[in-house]
């Protein structure tokens, strides 16, 4: 028996050794290495590639506000020969797949008489190329695909390899070569539908890089004629809808998006975004009503919770045409949906900021713009730079509004009698206590642990009828108290130890004077009474600061934002405060100009007041001799504007310089200052757009303003630029 076992074992070992040879072209050798390649090495390699792709797709996020890329693969930087794979973004499984492919070639290749006898080696090279491609090492990936096409022209996977070769060439910006290769492949009438679909998809990728949108559309339409790859087909249809929309073909766009919605095999993310894209294509009120009904129905569907931020935002965009308040409510719901999509949050904040800006609630608008700037990761985009400029324009408003409110509050309290002050601050202290009680109840209810632990404790032997008779329940209660509140001394108002309080609302802003004081002090009447200024010098200083803030706000609202009603309100209140003449006369003049523009009869009385009571003032002279005074003022204003813009140029705020010089040129058209502004604008263009654009801008100055110093300077610089181009 033992001898028989030894004979069989020896035979199997001999069989294994003979057939393990890669140099002998025999049926058993070919079969052994083919099977070993397919079911051992390549199986593990393909599995690693599949897992890697799943991880790559899970980490990839599409930006549906832009046209989607045809292949969802983020390329930040090409990995050239000698560089390692982008391990931060490419899962390690691709390296494992590459190792398995190399192992298959090294151990199972049967290259005999310049011909590969193992039919699975071309599969190994294809796997090698794919793993390198997804590791973003496109040059070595192309080498693997080229090797298969050159050495295995009759391989089973030759058509798929040609497609991968073309896709890699597109990534390496060899689009024309990729298109030629795939067009030659498509001449084969016997191609399978999945190969045709992939070929047309890759050609569309190439034309997308070349900005040939109509050709992209043509090939995507051919690619979606079959749906072998449900993910790619849905994506291609979605991109078709986006491209049609970009070309203004709303009907064709809606048809493409509807196909995505009706495509049963499509991933749900494309379906829901197709609904949102159709909503963007709405062109009239009838479409808006039907779109709103669809979106509101989608909001009620629990499956759409991950997309509530986008759904509420789109509802808000549609409703803002008819109801600003409804739009605001929906934008706020979008923000409350706890989405991790930062771009959507930015857009919702921006929409709210713009609505409040239009309502002239500039402080609220500024707060929403701040929220964008705090979370954005796209500081250099045109949208964020524009938002930053808008926000900076609100700095003065926010500064002076805060100053006026705080000082108004202080002066209001100063004007109160003693009993009135005591009643006022006692009411505020009670309000603080009530807020803390309410907050404490909210926290307790939110945890849901208090009652839960009582229930648990009541099941033991030590349970009693009342909570504090139960030792276990008391223990649970102490633990939960410390978890929520920490260690607190046994005293009144124990909840307020670590909580800072906001100040008063409206006339209660005085509490904002010093937020760093221990909160416990803010529950003492003496704290507030001790903060009330009593010296006349101090009170006058506060009043002057308040009056200056009102005047500045009136000017800003009138001149910068064209908000006449807001400006009128500030000037009227300022005049009622009886300020110094340095503020009173200009306030009356600006109020007179507002009344005059509105056709208000009060303009006449204000005009007479200024002329009769302040005849030597500059504003009286302007009213009596407007042309003479205004000429001189316009000249001074032009020089001041130029100086301010030039200062921004020195601070390298070139985009702002271009924008402000353009406005100033239109404002002072025909004035001597214009050539200086044009030359400054040309220099700013040179800093942002390069030498060619700089030269064109200088030529404009030289041509349009000959015989000026600015034209001569422009010609000198042009000659210098010519030497560099």
Q: How confident is the model at residue 110 (pLDDT cuts 50, 70, 90)?
A: very low
Which of 11-15, 45-49, 442-446 holds the top average pLDDT?
45-49
Burial of 518 (0-12, 13-18, 19+ CB in 10 A): exposed
> What span, in angstroms and rounded, lies between the C-alpha atoms of 335 and 327?
13
> What span, in angstroms and rounded, lies between the C-alpha atoms of 553 and 562?
12
* pTM tops 0.85: no
**CATH class held by domain 536-624:** mainly alpha
Q: Specify the 3-state DSSP secondary structure of 115.
A: strand
> What span, in angstroms and rounded, lies between the C-alpha atoms of 217 and 233?
13
- Cβ neighbours around 120 below 10 Å, total: 21
Mean pLDDT check: name the lowest of 60-69, 553-562, 583-592, 619-628. 619-628
- What Å distances lie between residue 502 and 411, 412, 428, 431, CA to CA? 19, 19, 11, 12
- pLDDT (tens digit per residue) in 272-315: 999 999 998 888 888 888 889 999 999 999 989 989 999 999 99
Sign of the C-alpha dihedral computed for residues 441, 442, 445 and 447 taken in this order: negative
Burial of 417 (0-12, 13-18, 19+ CB in 10 A): exposed
> What span, in angstroms and rounded, lies between the C-alpha atoms of 504 and 511?
6
**Homologous superfamily, domain 629-724:** Tetratricopeptide repeat domain (1.25.40.10)
**CATH class held by domain 19-172:** mainly alpha
Q: What is the dihedral of CA 60, 64, 65, 71, to 10 degrees?
A: 60
More confident residue, 337 or 79: 337
> What span, in angstroms and rounded, lies between the C-alpha atoms of 512 and 403?
11
CB 504 within 8 A of CB 510: yes
Nearest CA to 165 out of 140, 189, 188, 186 is that of 140
On the question of pLDDT at 162 being above 90, the answer is yes
On the question of pLDDT at 698 being above 80, the answer is yes
On the question of pLDDT at 396 being above 90, the answer is no
- What Å distances lie between residue 290 and 268, 281, 297, 315, CA to CA? 22, 12, 11, 12
Q: Specify the 3-state DSSP secondary structure of 471.
A: helix
Nearest CA to 186 out of 178, 196, 175 is that of 196
On the question of pLDDT at 340 being above 60, the answer is yes
Whole-number pLDDT of residue 679: 92
More confident residue, 59 or 171: 171
More confident residue, 136 or 6: 136
Whole-number pLDDT of residue 29: 47
Tokens of residue 104, six digits: 């298959």
Question: Could you say which DSSP state residue 521 is in?
Answer: G
- Cβ neighbours around 611 below 10 Å, total: 15
Q: How confident is the model at residue 705 (pLDDT cuts 50, 70, 90)?
A: confident
Burial of 9 (0-12, 13-18, 19+ CB in 10 A): exposed
On the question of pLDDT at 337 being above 90, the answer is no
> What span, in angstroms and rounded, lies between the C-alpha atoms of 151 and 143?
12
Nearest CA to 97 out of 54, 65, 59, 154 is that of 54
> What span, in angstroms and rounded, lies between the C-alpha atoms of 480 and 484?
6
> What span, in angstroms and rounded, lies between the C-alpha atoms of 564 and 591?
9
455 CA to centre of own chain: 47
Burial of 685 (0-12, 13-18, 19+ CB in 10 A): buried
What contacts 24+ positions apart, CB below 8 Å, involve 312-315? 312/337, 312/348, 313/344, 313/347, 313/348, 313/351, 314/276, 314/279, 314/280
Whole-number pLDDT of residue 22: 47
Q: How confident is the model at residue 476 (pLDDT cuts 50, 70, 90)?
A: low
Which of 70-84, 91-105, 703-717 holds the top average pLDDT?
703-717
Whole-number pLDDT of residue 107: 59
Whole-number pLDDT of residue 82: 45
- pLDDT (tens digit per residue) in 360-394: 888 888 888 888 888 888 777 778 887 887 787 78
Q: Specify the 3-state DSSP secondary structure of 670.
A: coil
Where in the chain is CATH 1.25.40.10?
629-724
Q: Specify the 3-state DSSP secondary structure of 116.
A: strand
Q: How confident is the model at residue 19 (pLDDT cuts 50, 70, 90)?
A: very low
């Amino acid at each position: 028996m033992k001898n028989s076992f030894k004979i069989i074992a020896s035979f199997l070992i001999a069989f294994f050794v003979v057939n393990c040879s890669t140099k002998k072209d025999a049926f058993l050798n070919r079969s052994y290495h083919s099977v070993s390649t397919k079911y051992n090495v390549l199986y593990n390699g393909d599995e690693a590639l599949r897992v890697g792709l799943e991880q790559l797709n899970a980490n990839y996020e599409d930006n549906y506000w832009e046209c989607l890329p045809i292949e969802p693969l983020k390329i930040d930087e090409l990995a050239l020969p000698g560089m390692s794979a982008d391990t931060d973004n490419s899962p390690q499984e691709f390296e494992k797949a590459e190792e398995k492919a190399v192992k298959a070639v090294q151990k199972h290749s049967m290259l005999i008489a310049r011909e590969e006898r193992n039919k699975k080696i071309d599969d190994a090279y294809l796997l090698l190329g794919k793993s390198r491609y997804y590791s973003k090492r496109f040059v070595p990936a192309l080498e693997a695909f080229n090797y298969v096409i050159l050495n295995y022209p009759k391989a089973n996977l030759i058509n798929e390899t040609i497609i991968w070769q073309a896709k890699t060439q597109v990534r390496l910006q060899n689009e024309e070569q990729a298109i030629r290769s795939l067009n030659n492949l498509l001449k084969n009438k016997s191609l399978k539908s999945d190969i045709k679909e992939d070929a047309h998809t890759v050609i569309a990728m190439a034309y997308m890089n070349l900005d040939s949108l109509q050709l992209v559309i043509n090939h995507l339409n051919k690619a979606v004629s079959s749906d072998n790859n449900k993910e790619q087909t849905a994506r291609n249809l979605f991109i078709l809808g986006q491209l049609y929309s970009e070309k203004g073909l709303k009907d064709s766009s809606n048809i493409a998006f509807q196909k995505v919605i009706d495509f049963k095999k499509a991933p749900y993310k494309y379906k829901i975004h197709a609904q949102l894209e159709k909503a963007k294509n709405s062109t009239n009120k009838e479409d808006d009503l039907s779109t709103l009904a669809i979106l509101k129905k989608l909001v009620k569907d629990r499956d759409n919770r991950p997309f509530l931020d986008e759904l509420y935002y789109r509802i808000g965009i549609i409703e803002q045409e008819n109801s600003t308040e409804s739009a605001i409510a929906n934008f706020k719901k979008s923000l409350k949906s706890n989405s991790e999509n930062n771009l959507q949050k930015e857009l919702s904040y921006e929409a709210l900021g713009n609505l409040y800006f239009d309502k002239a609630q500039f402080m609220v608008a500024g707060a929403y713009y701040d929220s964008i700037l705090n979370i954005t990761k796209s500081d250099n985009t045109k949208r964020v730079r524009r938002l930053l400029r808008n926000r900076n324009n609100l700095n003065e408003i926010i500064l002076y509004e805060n100053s006026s409110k705080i000082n108004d509050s202080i002066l209001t309290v100063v004007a109160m009698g003693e009993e009135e002050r005591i009643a006022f601050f006692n009411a505020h202290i009670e309000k603080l206590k009530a807020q803390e009680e309410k907050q404490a109840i909210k926290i307790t209810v939110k945890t849901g642990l208090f009652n839960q632990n009582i229930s648990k404790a009541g099941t033991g032997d030590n349970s009693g009828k009342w909570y504090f008779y139960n030792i276990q329940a008391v223990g649970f209660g102490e633990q939960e108290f410390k978890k929520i509140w920490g260690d607190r001394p046994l005293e009144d108002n124990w909840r307020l130890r670590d909580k800072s309080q906001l100040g008063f609302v409206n006339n209660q802003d005085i509490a904002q004077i010093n937020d760093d004081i221990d909160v416990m002090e803010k529950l003492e009447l003496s704290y507030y009474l001790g903060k009330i200024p009593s010296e006349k010098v101090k009170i006058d200083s506060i009043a002057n600061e308040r009056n200056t803030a009102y005047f500045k706000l009136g000017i800003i609202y009138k001149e910068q934002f064209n908000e006449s009603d807001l400006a009128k309100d500030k000037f009227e209140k300022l005049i009622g405060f009886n300020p110094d003449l340095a503020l009173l006369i200009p306030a009356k003049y600006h109020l007179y100009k507002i009344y005059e523009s509105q056709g208000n009869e009060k303009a006449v009385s204000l005009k007479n007041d200024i002329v009769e009571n302040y005849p030597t003032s500059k504003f009286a002279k302007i009213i009596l001799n407007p042309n003479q005074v205004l000429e001189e003022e316009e000249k001074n204003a032009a020089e001041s504007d130029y100086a301010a813009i030039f200062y921004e140029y020195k601070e390298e705020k070139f985009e702002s310089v271009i924008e402000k010089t353009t406005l100033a040129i239109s404002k002072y058209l025909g004035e001597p200052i214009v050539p200086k502004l044009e030359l400054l604008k040309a220099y700013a263009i040179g800093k942002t757009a390069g030498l060619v654009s700089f030269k064109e801008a200088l030529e404009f100055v030289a041509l349009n303003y000959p015989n000026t110093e600015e034209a001569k300077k422009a010609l000198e610089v042009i000659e210098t630029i010519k030497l560099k181009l």
